[in-house]
Amino acid sequence: MHSATSFLQDLAILMLFAGVSIVIFSRLKQPVVLGYIVAGFLIGPYLFKPGLIHDEDSIKTLSELGVIFLMFSLGLEFSIRKLFSVGATAFIAALLEIVVMIWIGYEIGRFFSWGSMDSLFLGAILAVSSTTIIIKALSDLKMKHERFAQLIFGVLIVEDILGIGIIALLSGIAVSKGDINAVGIIATISKLTLFMVVSLVVGIIMVPRVLAYIARFQSDEMVLISVLGMCFGFCLIVIYLGYSVVLGAFLIGAIMAESRQLAQIERIIEPVRDLFSAIFFVTIGMLIDPTILQTHFVEIIVIALAVIIGKVFSCGMGAFIAGNTGKTSLRVGMGLSQIGEFSFIIATLGIQLGVTSSYLYSIAVAVSVITTLTTPYLIKVADPLSNGLASIIPTPIAKVFNAYTQWVDSIRLHGDKAVLAGMIRKIIMQVGVNLALVTAIFLGVAYFVGPIGQWLGHWVVNVDYRKAVICGVTVVLSLPFLIAAYRKLKALSMLLAEMSLKGGNIRLQRILAELIPALSIVVILVLLSALSSAILPSRETLIIVVVVIIALTLILWRWFIKIHSRLQIALFETLDQSKDNHHG
Amino acid sequence: MHSATSFLQDLAILMLFAGVSIVIFSRLKQPVVLGYIVAGFLIGPYLFKPGLIHDEDSIKTLSELGVIFLMFSLGLEFSIRKLFSVGATAFIAALLEIVVMIWIGYEIGRFFSWGSMDSLFLGAILAVSSTTIIIKALSDLKMKHERFAQLIFGVLIVEDILGIGIIALLSGIAVSKGDINAVGIIATISKLTLFMVVSLVVGIIMVPRVLAYIARFQSDEMVLISVLGMCFGFCLIVIYLGYSVVLGAFLIGAIMAESRQLAQIERIIEPVRDLFSAIFFVTIGMLIDPTILQTHFVEIIVIALAVIIGKVFSCGMGAFIAGNTGKTSLRVGMGLSQIGEFSFIIATLGIQLGVTSSYLYSIAVAVSVITTLTTPYLIKVADPLSNGLASIIPTPIAKVFNAYTQWVDSIRLHGDKAVLAGMIRKIIMQVGVNLALVTAIFLGVAYFVGPIGQWLGHWVVNVDYRKAVICGVTVVLSLPFLIAAYRKLKALSMLLAEMSLKGGNIRLQRILAELIPALSIVVILVLLSALSSAILPSRETLIIVVVVIIALTLILWRWFIKIHSRLQIALFETLDQSKDNHHG
């Protein structure tokens, strides 16, 4: 009873302070997140020693749930469709921003002679802007529906997915104690991409169907509990595979975003997310140590300036490179010039992994508070500033800028060409997804080869034959996807041959058209043998397996195609259904 | 990181099992509560040792929150208006049920030679029926809008408030180690009633106004966080005063039920309550020990039969006494014949206080499961059974029964008399509320007399004068309520005099009409001196204080009345506003 009462007391104090301070901050037209952080600072262990919270661990456990619900909600708002529909601006600006900010952050850390891990985490903390703060600022300024705001939302979507990647990479780097190289990073990114593609494809085929079944009972309670069951269950798998729970919550959210029940799920999850994210932000405030703010005053100011200047520059430049006018680009840059919830999650990760110094956290929060406060003013100042710059810049340079914007617009594909480019992109993506699924099947079998072999041992005694069976079944399982990939590549080569007829070296194009499917088979075969080394039987047995598989492939060709097209229809059905959701 | 991960794993397993099992139970058209309990049993420490949950304490802490949210929701659905509008049937049936069931439970416990505390808790566990189960059963049978269902809902409302009282009493008895007497019980009940009346009156004047202010920001998040802040904050006060958190959550829910934001609060709180109450019910299942079910098999069957027979008899009899037909009475009794969430809360209380044996919990859950499963069949069998009984019962007895029902109907007040009786009841209640507020002011001052005296010591050195100031201020603070009580009593006496003119001993009635206000002043004075013994100054000073107060009263009579009527208007405004809510 006693421990429960003290936990209850902590929660009561937390909620009371949070409630009062968000009323005050809303009154002052400031983001509620700042209110939570201030509330946390007031009840934390540093301001009034020993602080008003007794059982910090329980509160921190609840704040863990806050991260999960925050990322889950972010995933619900994400949707793959949106990612595909954001333009080049978003990709270029987000990529440039993240690379530049990680580099700036790292250099600042090294300049202040921090450790390499602290510097790296600082870079990551500065990389991603805050969706919450931006939406709040744009709503207050009533600018949410302007063109630059739409560009900003696109950048945020790309940032989310890149931010998830950064978190996965940082976990990998931190666990390997910074002992990293290019090959390691590429391997980590490949594995992560593979995992994300496979989970999304499998998830989007399965999860919305389960949710549709559950929705038939017309009970909010059932939807809530099953959604949470799936969410936490998937997070468990993700943790088991060595990734951060942040990734899991985001991915399962993105998967559920494709279900017809999206609106219902968002409505039900919202209060739960608000509750736990409030606890999360308050615990962030609790971790602010005022003495660190004093001793690291210079660093905080330098980093805050770096965030503002670096983001305005990199995002603005990215938007400009993608072909926007100088004015719009500056507005995009100004809008994105702050750090927020992602930075807190990365800072928390550093503490949990035990690789960052304690001061980093307080600095990150302080920088976030400063840049949150400056954001609305920067957005307001963007237009006067761009007008001012326009009058200062010498005419020749301004002409070059304008010429660039026009040139980008001119090289953009129009009409038939744009359609063709779209088709080619689509085919390449489909090939990629199919090969990812094949890879996942092979890796999965290789991972479970021990137990599968043992289980098979009851029937097949010879180890070599056992391997042959496993290898054969694996290939047969992959065949629908392999055949699909082969057919897509053939279609691509035909498309390219078609294009080539309209001009250029016809002979070369013809050869290319024949070459691509042939080459694709070779690539796939190489891939297969590389992946199946763990389950490959001896050469003699292998020949039999290969013969059997070739025979099966020839006989069941149409059947495999049917299977695959059914799966594909299931996938696209869901995606098309969800399109209606998102439009609604 | 590790402990958080294991907590996450526990929560994931809990949610996965809860999700799957409520889908199955909904499929089988059984209450989801049973699904949660079964899920808990499956993952608990008894079935598969050592169980699938590693960090039971964290889960139990969350289930504590489940109790709070359950009771808070019950409070939101409660509303004082509803309590006043339920008829005599509800009061008589609920009171009879609770008294009979506590007695039966206690006797059964003693019969199985359990300790007196176990027996007492068993009685309390059997006393209150389960709103959740009844609503589910009536919805499934599509009988929610029939007359007997409305009677049942009335009984449930009265049961809730009596159940809250039982929990407060049990806590008091358990803390005093069973060393109780009639005076102690009466004192406990009086204090509890006083606390509830004062919190409701003060709360209903203040809380809806705060909520209306917060609602102006049009943010669900703000409403959620402030509602939770107030809810937990009030629970803290309640715990500080030595009551159960169950009482606090229920009361603040009942207070918020009178706000205009009720619909919004219910919508926002629902997912949070569903989440935590699911955890609560799962932890209940986790505590079921199958070996106890085996060894106490006979007890469980006996108690389950006692619940069914006892409740059918007591509730049915109560409904019949209140003037319902035999058929309706039987249906009411059959509908209420189960135990549920209140029983779990009481059983949990016993464990938390450490006064009950471990087997009691498992038995309570088993009895709840059995009676939950029988409830729908009992409701269905009520009509055939009453027809069967009607044909068996000898005609003379049946005639007596019918005559009774008609007699009760005939003695019911109609027309003017009913209006008069209603007015008298209202006046008595207003007097009661005002005197309760006065009592609360005096008790509050007496409780804080130490710190107040110290604080006053800076200005008033003489202890006697200090007491005089405290005593005087206290009386002045109470004067609006005292004057109101006096005026209401005078109105009552005039009303009675008016009535007496229509017949009877006119002389006696006149004397009575003069006597009541005079008597009331005496009663109030006695009450005051009894309460103010702790803050009473010496006799000489007291005389001065009394003179000053009398002078103040005479001079400011109108002003005090104005103050009081403002407060009263504030209260009734809120209650009238909320009437529109409840009708909507």
Which residues, including other chains, have CB under 8 Å from residue B66's CB and lie 6 or more apart? Answer: B276, B277, B278, B279, B280, B281, B283
Interchain contact, A229 vs B60, CB within 8 Å = no
Of A444 and B113, the structure prediction assigns the larger pLDDT to B113
- Please report which confidence band the pLDDT of residue B452 belongs to, taking 50, 70 and 90 as the band edges: confident
Is residue A2, in this structure, part of any structural domain at all? no
pTM given for the model: 0.83
Is residue A524, in this structure, part of any structural domain at all? yes
User: ipTM value of the model?
Assistant: 0.82
A175 Cβ under 8 Å from any chain B Cβ: no
| Lowest mean pLDDT segment, chosen from A64-68, B91-95, B364-368, B467-471 | B467-471
Looking at the 3D structure of chain B, how many domains does it have?
A: 2
CA nearest neighbour of B248 among B280, B209, B200, B281:
B200
Residues B322 and B373 in one domain: yes
Residue B201 is given by DSSP the state: H
Residues of A with Cβ-Cβ distance to B232 under 8 angstroms: 8, 11-12, 15-16
C-alpha B27/C-alpha B22 separation (Å) is 8
Q: How crowded is the C-beta side of B387, counted as CA atoms within 13 Å?
A: 5
Residues B369 and B430 in one domain: no
- pLDDT tops 80 at residue B370: yes
Both tokens of B375, joined, read 């409830």
C-alpha A33/C-alpha A280 separation (Å) is 10
Which residues, including other chains, have CB under 8 Å from residue A486's CB and lie 6 or more apart? Answer: A517, A520, A521, A524
Residues A186 and A333 in one domain: yes
* pLDDT tens per residue, range B381-415: 888 888 888 788 788 878 887 888 888 777 776 66
Interface of A with B in 277-296 (CB under 8 A): 278
At residue B111, the pLDDT reads: 92
Interchain contact, B3 vs A225, CB within 8 Å = no
Interchain contact, B219 vs A32, CB within 8 Å = yes
C-alpha A230/C-alpha A126 separation (Å) is 32
A6 Cβ under 8 Å from any chain B Cβ: no
Q: How crowded is the C-beta side of A444, counted as CA atoms within 13 Å?
A: 15
Residue ranges in A322-414 assigned as alpha helix (H): 326-335, 341-353, 358-392, 395-411
Is residue B388, in this structure, part of any structural domain at all? no
Q: Which of A225, A234, A241 to mutate to test the interface with B (most CBs of B within 10 A)?
A: A225
Amino acid at A68: I
Q: Which of A335, A355, A381 is the last residue of a domain?
A: A381
CB B121 within 8 A of CB B355: yes
Residues of A with Cβ-Cβ distance to B30 under 8 angstroms: none
* pLDDT tens per residue, range B145-190: 888 888 898 888 888 888 888 888 888 777 776 566 777 778 878 8
Which residues, including other chains, have CB under 8 Å from residue B60's CB and lie 6 or more apart? Answer: A4, B283
CA nearest neighbour of B524 among B483, B554, B559:
B483
Region B493-513: mean pLDDT is: 69
CB A434 within 8 A of CB A485: yes
Rounded to a whole number of angstroms, the distance between the first and last alpha carbons of chain A is 49
Is residue A10, in this structure, part of any structural domain at all? no
Interchain contact, B269 vs A271, CB within 8 Å = yes
Residues B40 and B121 in one domain: yes
Interchain contact, A8 vs B239, CB within 8 Å = yes
Burial pattern B552-579, b for ≥16 Cβ within 10 A else e, equals beeebeeebeebbeebbeebeebbeebe
CA B378 to chain CA mean position, Å: 27
Both tokens of A146, joined, read 């302007």
CA nearest neighbour of A372 among A27, A141, A125, A130:
A130
At residue A576, the pLDDT reads: 72
Is residue A397, in this structure, part of any structural domain at all? no
At residue B429, the pLDDT reads: 83
What SS3 string covers A388-451? HHHHHCCHHHHHHHHHHHHHHHHHCCCHHHHHHHHHHHHHHHHHHHHHHHHHHHHHHHHHCHHH
C-alpha A139/C-alpha A29 separation (Å) is 11
CB A265 within 8 A of CB B268: no
Interchain contact, B274 vs A220, CB within 8 Å = yes
C-alpha A411/C-alpha B473 separation (Å) is 85
Closest in B65, B239, B271 to A272, CB measured: B271
Residues B187 and B294 in one domain: yes
CA nearest neighbour of A126 among A311, A357, A318, A379:
A311
Residues A242 and A185 in one domain: yes
Residues of B with Cβ-Cβ distance to A229 under 8 angstroms: 12, 15-20
Residues of A with Cβ-Cβ distance to B245 under 8 angstroms: 5, 8
Taking the CB of residue B309, how many other CB atoms lie within 10 A of it? 13
CB A355 within 8 A of CB A117: yes
Residues of B with Cβ-Cβ distance to A20 under 8 angstroms: 229
Least CA distance to A351: which residue of chain B?
B1
Per-residue pLDDT of chain A (584 residues; tens, 9 = 90+): 345 677 888 888 999 999 999 999 988 888 888 899 999 999 988 877 777 787 777 888 888 888 899 889 988 988 777 777 777 788 889 999 999 999 999 999 999 999 888 999 999 999 999 888 888 788 878 888 888 888 898 888 888 888 888 888 888 777 776 566 777 778 878 888 888 889 998 999 899 999 999 999 888 999 999 999 999 999 988 888 888 888 899 999 999 998 989 999 999 999 999 999 999 999 888 888 889 889 999 999 999 999 999 999 999 999 888 888 888 899 999 999 999 888 988 998 888 888 888 899 899 999 999 998 898 889 888 888 888 887 887 888 778 878 888 887 777 766 677 777 778 888 888 888 888 888 888 888 877 877 888 888 787 778 788 888 888 888 888 888 888 888 888 888 777 777 665 555 667 766 777 777 777 777 777 777 776 677 777 778 888 888 888 888 888 888 888 888 888 887 877 777 665 555 43
CA nearest neighbour of A331 among A94, A152, A153:
A152
Is residue A140, in this structure, part of any structural domain at all? yes
Least CA distance to A31: which residue of chain B?
B222
Mean pLDDT of chain B: 84
C-alpha distance from A98 to closest chain B C-alpha (Å):
27
C-alpha B298/C-alpha B304 separation (Å) is 10
At residue B17, the pLDDT reads: 93
C-alpha B390/C-alpha B385 separation (Å) is 8
Interchain contact, B236 vs A274, CB within 8 Å = no
Residue A504 is given by DSSP the state: S
3-state secondary structure of A517: helix
- What is each CA distance from B108 to A386, B101, B146, in whole angstroms? 85, 10, 35
* pLDDT tens per residue, range B278-295: 999 998 888 888 898 899
- pLDDT tops 60 at residue B2: no
Q: In which region does residue B213 sit, left (phi positive, over 0), alpha (psi from -120 to 50) or beta (all else)?
A: alpha
DSSP states of B482-536: HHHHHHHHHHHHHHHHHHHHTSS-HHHHHHHHHHHHHHHHHHHHHHHHHHGGGG-
Interchain contact, A221 vs B274, CB within 8 Å = yes
A216 Cβ under 8 Å from any chain B Cβ: no
Task: Give the CATH number, domain containing residue A99.
Answer: 1.20.1530.20
CA nearest neighbour of A66 among A97, A40, A92:
A40
Of B429 and B229, the structure prediction assigns the larger pLDDT to B229
Give residue A111's domain range: 55-381
- Please report which confidence band the pLDDT of residue B584 belongs to, taking 50, 70 and 90 as the band edges: very low
Torsion of the alpha carbons at B201, B205, B208 and B213, rounded to the nearest 10? -160
Peptide bond into A50 cis (omega under 30): yes
Q: Which of A381, A397, A423 is the last residue of a domain?
A: A381
C-alpha distance from B99 to closest chain A C-alpha (Å):
29
Interchain contact, B23 vs A57, CB within 8 Å = no
Give the burial class of A324: count Cβ atoms within 10 A of its Cβ; 0-12 exposed, 13-18 middle, 19 or more buried. buried
Which residues, including other chains, have CB under 8 Å from residue A87's CB and lie 6 or more apart? Answer: A151, A154, A322
At residue A299, the pLDDT reads: 92
Q: How crowded is the C-beta side of B539, counted as CA atoms within 13 Å?
A: 0
The residue count of chain B comes to 584
Residues A443 and A511 in one domain: yes
Residues of A with Cβ-Cβ distance to B220 under 8 angstroms: 270-271, 274
Is residue A394, in this structure, part of any structural domain at all? no
- pLDDT tops 90 at residue B265: yes
Is residue B312, in this structure, part of any structural domain at all? yes
Residues A432 and A367 in one domain: no
At residue B177, the pLDDT reads: 63
CB A360 within 8 A of CB A118: yes
Interchain contact, A12 vs B221, CB within 8 Å = no
- What is each CA distance from A99 to A131, A318, A462, in whole angstroms? 19, 11, 53
Residues A273 and A129 in one domain: yes
Region B21-28: mean pLDDT is: 90
Give the burial class of B475: count Cβ atoms within 10 A of its Cβ; 0-12 exposed, 13-18 middle, 19 or more buried. buried
Residues B455 and B344 in one domain: no
Residues B420 and B326 in one domain: no
CB B151 within 8 A of CB B379: no
Residues B342 and B426 in one domain: no
At residue A584, the pLDDT reads: 38
3-state secondary structure of A213: helix
Angle at CA A459, nearest 5°, toward A458 and A465? 115
CA nearest neighbour of A172 among A217, A131, A124, A109:
A124
- pLDDT tops 70 at residue B347: yes
Both tokens of B335, joined, read 């509908």
Taking the CB of residue A241, how many other CB atoms lie within 10 A of it? 13
CB B57 within 8 A of CB B45: no
C-alpha A360/C-alpha A13 separation (Å) is 27
